[in-house]
Amino acid sequence: MNPLTRRSFLFASSGAATGSLLVTGLAEADEATVSDFAGSGLVTGQPKPLKHKEIPGFLSAAQIAPHHTAHYGGALKAVVAADSKLEEATKSGMAADPAAFAHLKRTINSRGNSVILHEFYFDGLSPKAVDPQKSLRVAIEQRFGSLEKWSADFIASAKEAAGWAMLVKHPVNGKLYNIVSDEHAMGVLWMASPIIVIDTYEHAFYIDYQNRKAEYVEKFMAHIDWSEAERRFS
């Protein structure tokens, strides 16, 4: 059997019914082995374990645990169930209720994006403040003028985002973008590969910060795992 590649992961995880999951952007490195995806919930059907159960000074265990279990885990359950129903109905040749099929497909799209983005978010957190890695830092400086200007733009994007904000790389032109996604299936820059992801839904911060979203966003910047970001970028 061929090793799992970014392209084969795309088709294995999304199924024939979707084709619109955010993870499609990761197909840019066609033949790269993606051991980092082997533990994804979209592959195993089980929640990916947390790297850090708490981030001292940023997120408590009381904040992270329900976020991981209820929101990430709930999204995974929903996409697995919808995908199973859709696959069974499609393969059986049963006459489809267009509305029911559309609902299942939208569930796979939205919940599948939620699973992927949550995994990028949790895996991208660091208990310690670390310096950006060289090649990504150079790319950020070239694109945004300086690391500080990128940071200001990312913070502004995250403060305004109702769902997600992320730094992504687009394979068509190789450019970096800070993008805003107000819902799991909205705001997607097609084919873009996430590098840094912040969850800005209230469930990501309310236990620790209540309505102080701006404080949460600003503290996030000191807890980016730049080694992980560099790996995603390269």
What is the per-residue pLDDT across 193-202, written as a single tens digit (0 to 9) for each? 999 999 999 9
Domain residues of the chain, as ranges? Answer: 6-44, 61-123, 134-233
Residue ranges, the chain, pLDDT below 70: 1-36, 94-96, 185-188
Q: How far apart are CA 145 and CA 140, in angstroms?
A: 7
pTM listed for this prediction: 0.84
Q: Return the CATH class of domain 134-233.
A: alpha beta
Q: How far apart are CA 133 and CA 234, in angstroms?
A: 11
What is the per-residue pLDDT across 100-149, written as a single tens digit (0 to 9) for each? 888 888 999 999 999 999 999 999 999 988 888 789 999 999 999 999 99
From 2.30.40.10, 3.40.50.620, 1.10.287.990, 3.40.50.10490, which CATH number describes the 61-123 domain?
A: 1.10.287.990
Element (H, E) at 43: helix 41-44
Q: How far apart are CA 50 and CA 65, in angstroms?
A: 9
